Amino acid sequence: MKVSIDRVEECIAVLIVQEDPMVRIRIPAGFLPPGSREGDLLDLTLEPDPAATAAARQQVSGLIGKMKKKQ
């Protein structure tokens, strides 16, 4: 998805989604690529990470198991 950098306020970048300009996304300004400025267009991509998801679920399951044993 294409977004534009609308502004940066107090270390928070406000991005406007080009497909729907009413949608704003706020992210830490440190997440922006180096040299980014207001008005720049960026590609914003969110991708699933199945391996990391499975590992996190396994870790949480293990923690829940430990908690149940303590009860």
pTM of the predicted structure, to 2 decimals? 0.75
Per-residue confidence (pLDDT) for residue 3, from 0 to 100: 98
Residue 57, classed as helix, strand or coil, is helix
Residue 13 burial (10 A CB sphere; 0-12, 13-18, 19+): buried
Q: What is the pLDDT along the chain (71 residues), one digit of tens a residue?
A: 999 999 999 999 999 999 999 999 999 999 999 999 999 999 999 999 999 999 999 999 988 888 888 77
Per-residue confidence (pLDDT) for residue 46, from 0 to 100: 93
Extents of the domains making up the chain: 1-43
Per-residue confidence (pLDDT) for residue 68, from 0 to 100: 85
Per-residue confidence (pLDDT) for residue 24, from 0 to 100: 98
